[in-house]
């Protein structure tokens, strides 16, 4: 009897604990929606189309639909939304292929003697606090970009608009590269583990059919690990979108203008929330907090969309044909 | 075109003699052999020793494997029978420290000589494994996997024919012809193993290596696979590894008994079980050798 009771307790305790996680998400979303409601009413769709962010903290208070806000204040998320999407996009374009390549090397090509130390360093990299990446970015990456890489790019590719023009010390390229560096170990370590799960029997079947090593990787190992690889890329992208500290240090802190080249200073939503929060609390109308909450809500929505799209890609079979492949 | 050949081959019991040059080049046998019907796919093992690093796992093996016969390697675990069969299509090349002395010739060409591409070799020497290992793809995609990679067909219709004929030869067509698009993993173990045989046949090998193909199957499926081996011997050189003596007796034409890396005795199937000449063979057959 006592042992049955044990089972009952076990069942309900675990159910409660999993409920806590679910409840937390709903509480966070609820709080964000509640806090951003004034901003939604007052600024509406202008919030998404304006590039100007001007809180007018010293002005007087006006009322729209009974909601207080500073007279003449404008809040537009476009600069920060663009910065977030572009820097994460660059990170994904550089990081995902590099990570999958690294995973292939570690899982398929490198002998154990070489793969183990590289794996160790890679996992270490995944665990480094982001402020250290940012600090390294400021001390090493940004000066290098300014003195060498960006200069070189703008010289040799000056006919391409996105590579032409003035070189800034910190900005879009630096943010994208730092983010790429940060998400590569995450994607690579998950992908490597997934590739190593490929049953030896399948690889032998491929070899016995006259597949080369590359064909075995491309036709057997990658399809087998496909689900996890897409999942790891979504995870990496989520990390890049929400990354705050490292980007805050190397983004250049742009406001009120959109990037025209790879070298422009940018700003991201996550970094901007951190930059602005102090000042926002001094807003007598409270509107500054509300617009930041709306920005946070938008960021959350984007990361959720990334996850949903990743799931759809997995189900639809992005890499290989749909109905045939068994999900792993 | 290919399908017709495959079919012809099936009906007449002849092996293909005009496969693409690319495949044959590294193993080009003398021209008189090319023309003589039914002599393709002969394996001669001469003074073969196999090592993994310093460990010698096969000692001085001499054996002739004839086309259209089932040659069985039998012996207790660790006797080297699996190593020997995997040496015939160079599946061991990836094992660290693996090297051979002596020679393995297929239709007169040493497969371990320089200039033989171990990848192309596998198009002539197909293999079926102990555990059924279909790809997590549809039944159709499993069979066309090899032909597709090696670009062996020119059209979808041709591929359809290759798939059909391969499945027919593997005795699976009638059971699954209406569900070619379904996952191969939904098939039973015995069906999966016959699918693996169809997949191996689809690249048109001359030799089929079967490494304990029935040891993971139930008795009914085992019988089906054994019957299939006998049918396949009409078109292919079949080499079978088994630790099941009854199986060796049922399907084998020639039986080679291996023990601790030595080839102890070779004989025709009924003889070796009824009148073994070597005391070791006798002990093994009577179940006294572990």
pLDDT digits (tens, 9 = 90+) for B221-240: 899 999 999 999 999 999 99
If you average pLDDT over residues A227-233, what whole number do you get?
90
Q: Is pLDDT of B22 > 50?
A: no
Tell which wins on pLDDT, B146 or B16: B146
Q: B28-58 burial, b for 16+ CB within 10 Å, e for fewer?
A: ebeeeeeeeeebbbbbbbeebebeeeeeebb
Which of B91, B138, B141 faces A208 most closely, judged by CB atoms? B91
pLDDT tens digits, one per residue of A288-308: 999 999 999 999 999 999 988
Tell which wins on pLDDT, A119 or B14: A119
Is the CB of residue B149 less than 8 Å away from at least one CB of chain A?
Answer: yes
Chains A & B: contacts with CB separation below 8 Å: 68
Give the pair of three-digit tokens for residue A168.
Answer: 């800034």
Best B135, B143, B166, B207 member to test A by mutation, with max A CBs in 10 Å, is: B135
Is the CB of residue A210 less than 8 Å away from at least one CB of chain B?
Answer: yes
pLDDT tens digits, one per residue of B205-225: 999 999 999 988 888 889 999
Q: Is pLDDT of B23 > 80?
A: no
Residues of B in contact with A223 (CB under 8 A): 136
Residues of A in contact with B141 (CB under 8 A): 321, 324
Nearest Cα neighbor of A278 from A298, A294, A257, A292 is: A292
Give the pair of three-digit tokens for residue A1.
Answer: 């009897």
What does each C-alpha distance from A51 to A76, A79, A252, A254, B285 come to in angstroms? 5, 5, 16, 11, 87
Nearest Cα neighbor of A182 from A227, A228, A241 is: A241
Rounded to whole angstroms, the Cα distance separating B114 from B91 reads 16
Is the CB of residue A204 less than 8 Å away from at least one CB of chain B?
Answer: yes
B43-52 and B98-106: which strand pairing? antiparallel
Q: Do A204 and B145 touch (CB under 8 A)?
A: no
Nearest Cα neighbor of A206 from A182, A185, A222 is: A222
**Count of H-run helices and E-run strands, chain A:** 14, 4
Is the CB of residue A215 less than 8 Å away from at least one CB of chain B?
Answer: yes
Shortest CA gap A274–chain B (Å): 48
CATH assignment, A81-316:
1.10.3720.10
Predicted local distance difference test score (pLDDT) of residue B257 = 94
What does each C-alpha distance from B114 to A142, B90, B109, B118, B212 come to in angstroms? 53, 13, 11, 10, 30
Nearest Cα neighbor of B43 from B197, B209, B199 is: B209
Rounded to whole angstroms, the Cα distance separating B252 from A173 reads 69
* Chain B residues 165-184 within an 8 A CB cutoff of chain A: 181, 183
Residues of A in contact with B137 (CB under 8 A): 321, 324-325
Is the CB of residue A224 less than 8 Å away from at least one CB of chain B?
Answer: yes
Which of A202, A207, A210 faces B203 most closely, judged by CB atoms? A210
Rounded to whole angstroms, the Cα distance separating B177 from A61 reads 77
Q: Is pLDDT of B102 > 60?
A: yes
Residue spans per domain, chain A: 81-316
Class of domain B2-134+204-285: alpha beta
pLDDT tens digits, one per residue of A44-102: 999 999 999 998 888 889 998 889 999 889 999 999 999 999 999 999 999 999 999 99
Is the CB of residue B215 less than 8 Å away from at least one CB of chain A?
Answer: no
The neighbour count for residue B62, using CB atoms within 10 Å, is 12
Is the CB of residue A322 less than 8 Å away from at least one CB of chain B?
Answer: no
The pair phi, psi for residue A324, each rounded to 5°, is -80, -40
Rounded to whole angstroms, the Cα distance separating B255 from B275 reads 13
Predicted local distance difference test score (pLDDT) of residue A90 = 96
Predicted local distance difference test score (pLDDT) of residue A325 = 43
Give the pair of three-digit tokens for residue A308.
Answer: 């949903």
Predicted local distance difference test score (pLDDT) of residue B127 = 96
The gap from C-alpha A237 to its chain's centroid, in whole angstroms, comes to: 4
Is the CB of residue B41 less than 8 Å away from at least one CB of chain A?
Answer: no
Helix (H) or strand (E) holding A143: helix A142-144
pLDDT band of A166, cuts 50, 70, 90: confident
Predicted local distance difference test score (pLDDT) of residue A313 = 77
């Amino acid at each position: 009897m006592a042992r049955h009771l044990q089972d009952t307790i076990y069942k309900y305790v675990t159910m409660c604990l999993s409920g806590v996680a679910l409840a937390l998400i709903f509480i966070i979303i609820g709080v964000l929606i509640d806090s951003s409601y004034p901003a939604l009413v007052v600024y509406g769709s202008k919030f998404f189309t304006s590039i100007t962010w001007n809180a007018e903290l010293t002005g007087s208070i006006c009322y729209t639909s009974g909601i207080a806000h500073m007279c003449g204040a404008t809040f537009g998320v476009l600069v920060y939304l663009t910065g977030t999407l572009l820097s994460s996009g660059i990170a994904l374009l550089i990081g995902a292929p590099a990570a999958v390549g690294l995973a292939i090397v570690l899982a398929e090509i490198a002998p154990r003697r070489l793969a183990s130390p590289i794996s160790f360093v890679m996992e270490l990299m995944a665990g480094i606090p982001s402020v250290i990446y940012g600090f390294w970015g400021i001390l090493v990456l940004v000066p290098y970009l300014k003195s060498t890489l960006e200069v070189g790019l703008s010289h040799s590719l000056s006919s391409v608009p996105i590579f032409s023009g003035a070189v800034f010390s910190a900005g879009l390229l630096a943010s994208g590269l730092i983010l790429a560096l940060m998400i590569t170990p995450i994607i690579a370590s998950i992908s490597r583990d997934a590739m190593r799960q490929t049953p030896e029997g399948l690889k032998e079947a491929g070899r016995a059919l006259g597949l080369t090593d590359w064909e075995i990787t491309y036709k057997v190992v990658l399809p087998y690990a496909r689900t996890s690889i897409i999942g790891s890329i979504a995870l990496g992208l989520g990390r890049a979108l929400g990354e705050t500290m490292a980007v805050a240090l190397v983004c250049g802190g742009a406001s009120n203008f959109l990037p025209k080249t790879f070298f422009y200073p940018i700003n991201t939503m996550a970094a901007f929330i951190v930059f602005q929060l102090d000042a926002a609390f001094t807003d007598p109308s409270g509107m500054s907090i509300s617009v930041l909450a709306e920005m946070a809500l938008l960021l959350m929505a984007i990361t959720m969309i990334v996850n949903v799209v990743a799931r759809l890609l997995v189900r639809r079979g992005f890499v290989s044909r749909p109905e045939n492949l068994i999900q792993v | 075109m290919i399908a017709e050949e495959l079919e012809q081959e099936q009906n007449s019991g002849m092996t293909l003699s005009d496969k693409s040059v690319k495949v044959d080049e590294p193993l080009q046998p003398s021209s008189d052999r090319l023309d003589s019907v039914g002599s393709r796919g002969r394996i001669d093992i001469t003074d073969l020793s196999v090592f993994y690093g310093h460990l010698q796992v096969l000692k001085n093996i001499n054996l002739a494997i004839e086309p259209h016969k089932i040659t069985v390697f039998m012996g207790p675990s660790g006797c080297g029978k699996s190593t020997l069969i995997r040496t015939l299509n160079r599946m061991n090349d990836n094992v660290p420290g693996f090297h051979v002395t002596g020679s393995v010739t297929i239709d007169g060409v040493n497969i371990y000589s320089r200039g033989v591409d171990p990848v192309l070799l596998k198009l002539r020497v197909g293999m079926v494994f102990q555990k059924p290992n279909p790809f997590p793809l549809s039944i159709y995609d499993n069979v066309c996997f090899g032909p597709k990679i090696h670009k062996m067909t020119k059209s979808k219709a041709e591929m359809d024919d290759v798939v059909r004929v391969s499945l027919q030869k593997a005795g699976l067509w009638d059971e699954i012809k209406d569900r070619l698009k379904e996952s191969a993993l939904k098939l039973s173990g015995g069906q999966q193993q016959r699918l693996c045989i169809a997949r191996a046949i689809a690249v048109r090998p001359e030799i089929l290596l079967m490494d304990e193909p029935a040891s993971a199957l139930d008795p009914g499926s085992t019988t089906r696979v054994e019957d299939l081996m006998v049918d396949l011997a009409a078109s292919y050189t079949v080499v079978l590894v088994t630790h099941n003596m009854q199986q060796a007796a049922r399907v084998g034409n020639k039986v080679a008994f291996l023990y601790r890396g030595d080839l102890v005795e070779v004989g025709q199937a009924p003889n070796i079980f009824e009148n073994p000449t070597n005391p070791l063979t006798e002990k093994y057959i009577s179940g006294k050798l572990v």
